[in-house]
Structure 1
């Protein structure tokens, strides 16, 4: 986990599967993921080391549908249906020993965002799945005496933390860590922006509802100073076009008016959804 933290950068906080399989510990190669399996257990270990959720292109199904349950914790499917399968036993051993694991979530073909530490909290045998706490805090159960509104808030907030980390990595990978509006490359100055806000019914954490934006353009987008038409052309609010200010307004905003986005994902299936851009642009026009 320390090596994973050192390997992450602001420009790239996900890793290629080849890099994960080449990991060495004390001079011994110990792959962190298995090329063919979702559950990784080193040959000389009793417990599992990691779990993996493969990347799913828009509209495609995964071999196993891992999902977050109503309590905000991940449900990770068994390998097959045999409770005594060695990989299922390896996860059960990690659960009994309360060992931390790494969850590798696919954000692109062969690209994985590591989320750690995660813990196997329980097993739901009838559903052929394990219950996974996705951070240290989630392991602490919410008091039964807590107000239901508090319990609901904590479940949603924990769920969002994971989704936002995965969403950012997926969007940055698709846009090659560059601002869609101005092509700025510095990851520390970039955000993964929702086209339609996540509280909206259609505001899912999907790459097609995302834009890589520098912090200035993200703030301008959220404030309806900058809009993006469904044909991917940038618009700046009319009153700003008339305003005279410093170089940021002139070069950072006004000169982007009527210009197409500078950066788009290379895969068409990952480019912004035109219907979501239309919703967002309607909000921009209403504010103008």
Structure 2
């Protein structure tokens, strides 16, 4: 693929959504017949609505620029890349050729991740990303979108474009802010600083929590050294890792680094990148993402240490991100009744843990850290917020890790909701169990009929199906 990168893609024959179907037939013809350019022109006129030789040549030039075709004199043939695509017609192969040849494809995917867009809005996104284009061709975004439709990444309805499931997966992978690292490869510190866009100082510490611009924890880098002082036992996919604090300083303390890993033992909220440094190397070998499955403060070699049990996740950072975000995605149309539980085969054990870990974070964020029932956000002297994420249809019954199956509640009202003192009507009013004979009834009775404090985003509010199932479990009559 020679030449400069293009600003605008060239539409193909067959209409938006059918480009690849016609392209596959054309490539098959070129491969089997080895035609002249004149023969290709006649084939396209016979098999499509093409009538203009100049229009056909313009499209052949575009395919040549993608690296699919090669025109040598009067003959047309498939390139190695063309044969590779034709052998499986893998949309990912053609997308890579398109995005590396034409500006704007990744920009469109990123824009559609934020929600459906018209062609004009997609054009605005590209113009904003590439202000030097001086893009005044209003057909440009439609030509980009036509290829994305044909590849199965975008669907169009009433003039509005949306990502398909396959397109959303690609968009997350292509627009992810996470570094591109290959498991098993060695990286110098400068390589990792470039990849993570950060400085680690004079050396990379054993545990390096990194924060985003808003001050929230973004990811953690963990490094084990073959000749390190902590006796880390790296064996197989599950291993022991000793926390921060050298033996000369006695018992390990709850430093920020140790605390960050302790938090991940409670729930996996951010990616944890694991590296291993052999004794004879300054470079670090990337071992992939790990999950902190357990943490203990134990006596070891005459001192107290934080002992973390870690397990390889076998996930890419973008997959981790997608699983976490899936907790807050919409589930069904308003009139549908979503299943109360996830399909048993829908997620692996690792994927379930990531989603389960994301559930408290997404639910409490949806309610802005306030109890849905009392509206309060109590804080301990140490700064801990007393707000918890409750499953409406319970987790012990395999209730789904979806924001719409969650309520942010203070500790008291979480207990009261889980034990059946409290329930919620379909119009989001508090219901109280009719048990005046029990201690605590008077306190809870005062809440009867109160409206919940709800997320501003209607798509993140409790779904009626989960609320009804909770009422049924605890013997409340449907209001």
Normalising by structure 1, we get a TM-score of 0.50
Give the alignment's TM-score, normalised by structure 2: 0.32
- The higher radius of gyration belongs to 2
